Amino acid sequence: MKRFWARDISPRAAAVVVALALIASVVTGREEPAGQTQPVQERGQALPAANEQQLPDLDLDKLNRADRKQKIANLFASKAWMQQPPATATARALNPAPPSPPPAPTAPSLPFRYFGKWVDGDRAVVFLWKNNEGHSVAAGDTLDGIYQIESITDSAVNFIYLPLGSKQTLPLIQPN
């Protein structure tokens, strides 16, 4: 047998080409249904009488403006949202208001959680958690160089935030 192609084509590639050719022939065959073709109208010819009946009547008076002297708005004009008199703006520019003082610094919230308490005579030791680290503290101890334990009562641990000297309280509640 004589070869038709100069190259060997795999059966899979040939099947893909044939499938694409079939799909293309089906798609091109569906562009205009058979028997429903419309005549081509040449430039300058009038529409047939059947098509004139399908067109809606247009009221050309609706296209004209009622008032020809009506001013058309400028679409690109700038618009100020807040109108201020020039004198007030000038006075503010010359005498700006003094800036408000910054708020007074405050201590951050306590980073500790209550874990437990141990009492030995008159000395109480409290167990606290901070970032998965346990601390056992008594009155007068300093934590992280920032918090000092002022006192331990039956219901709370009183801290002093050393950078500001402010007092904070951690209530002693049982952990969940």
Banded model confidence at residue 28, pLDDT cuts 50, 70, 90: confident
Q: What tens digit of pLDDT does each residue of 95-152 get?
A: 777 888 999 999 999 999 999 999 888 889 999 999 889 999 999 999 989 999 999 9
pLDDT at 156 over 90: yes
Q: How confident is the model at residue 1 (pLDDT cuts 50, 70, 90)?
A: low
User: How many other C-beta atoms are found inside a 10 Å radius of the C-beta of residue 81?
Assistant: 4
Q: Which helix (H) or strand (E) holds 28?
A: helix 11-29
Residue 171 has pLDDT above 80, yes or no: yes
Q: Check residue 109 and give its pLDDT.
A: 92
Q: State residue 76's pLDDT score.
A: 77
CA distance linking residue 50 with residue 22, whole number of Å: 38
Q: Which of 164, 133, 134 is nearest to 148 (CA)?
A: 164
Q: Any idea of the CA torsion for 165, 167, 172, 176, to the nearest 10 degrees?
A: -80
Tell me the Cα Rg of the chain: 45
User: Residue 31 has which token pair?
Assistant: 């562009």
pLDDT for residue 158: 95
| 84, pLDDT greater than 60 | no
Q: Each residue of 31-60: pLDDT tens digit? A: 555 555 555 556 656 555 555 567 677 777
Share of the chain above pLDDT 90, in %: 34
Between 162 and 28, the higher pLDDT residue? 162
Provide the pLDDT for residue 125: 94
Domains, the chain, with CATH or none: 113-171 (2.30.30.830)
Given a cut of 70, is residue 23 above it in pLDDT? Answer: yes
pLDDT at res. 46? 59
Instruction: Name the average pLDDT for the chain.
Output: 78
pLDDT band at 13 (very low <50, low <70, confident <90, very high): confident
